[in-house]
Amino acid sequence: MIKVTAIETGKARMKTAQQTGSDQRGAVGRKIDIFRDRNWVDPLPILCFLVEHPEGRFLIDTGDTWRNSVPGYLPGWNPFYKQVSIRVAPNEEVGPRLAAMGLDPARDLSAVVLTHFHHDHTGGLDHFPHNRIIGPKANYAISTGLRGMMTGCLPQRWPVWLKPELVETDGPGIGPFSQSFPITRDGRIALVPTPGHVAGHCSVIVRGDDMTYFLAGDATYSQENLLAGRTDGVTNDPALARETLRKIREFCAMQPTILLPAHNRDGLRRLEQREVFA
């Protein structure tokens, strides 16, 4: 039996122009819109997902950390971090959340799988020093060094021991996704390429006994945006992001699927009520 559980690790606020970019704007224009925007979206959850599978437990993303509140943790020279607000209490980090579920975060997981390396998906890595950590090679390549620090990653805050298993989605296709990377031997948990929010971004498909789960990471912020084909304001390639949204819609229409983005309040309700994509 396969089970998916959402784990909330604090709240994030973003500008409305980040959540939904203007169709008439390109990559640079969208960034300008975010800085000019005075409107904020109501606080959204920072979600990661525990997948229980016959081969073990797999954590998808690690959420963020309370250290965002510590002066100097976020680089002050990067004005982007003033356009988002992250609030995480110490006991809201993924480690304490897992412990409250009766799990030892350092030892009771078969692997941690990252959809991409932005700070609100890697902030909980410190809790997993003994685990296999899997991430997309293409995204890691642009997430290190100064380039990473300028584009929403905090490689200078990653654990010193971090040496992720970097994978390429060069395995068999799944529906409209021409390639994948199987996480489990039976292929029921797999990474698929969903670039657009950022280059090299991946999503995770989980095929249960009677339901499929599409763990979208930040490929879309909401089911409404996905249905409308509206991309976010972060993307540097709006056309590629729209093509990714098309593939996700096509995949979700092929079988009963619950869509689960990483920052979507309604996803929690859909998961609890087993409400499929429509």
253 in a domain, yes or no? yes
Domain-located, residue 181 = yes
User: Kindly report the CA angle at 189 between 5 and 110, in degrees rounded to 5?
Assistant: 70
Whether residue 55 is contained in a domain is answered as: yes
Segment 204-222 mean pLDDT:
97
State the Cα–Cα distance between residues 15 and 13, nearest whole angstrom. Answer: 7
- Mean pLDDT of the region 64-88: 93
pLDDT in tens, 133-173: 999 999 999 999 999 999 999 999 999 999 999 999 999 99
pLDDT-derived band at 106 (thresholds 50, 70, 90) equals confident
Is 278 among the domain residues?
Answer: no
Domain limits for position 71: 3-273
Within-domain flag for 103: yes
Specify the CATH number for the domain of residue 74: 3.60.15.10
Average pLDDT over residues 95-100: 97
183 occurs within a structural domain: yes
pLDDT value of position 118: 98
Task: Give pLDDT, residue 32.
Answer: 96
Residue 134 lies in a domain: yes
> Cα separation of 235 and 28, whole Å?
9
Within-domain flag for 188: yes
The answer to whether 248 touches 194, Cβ cutoff 8 Å, is yes
Q: What length is written for the chain?
A: 278
Structural domain count of the chain: 1
The pLDDT of 62-84, averaged and rounded, is 93
Query: Mean of the per-residue pLDDT values for the chain?
Result: 96
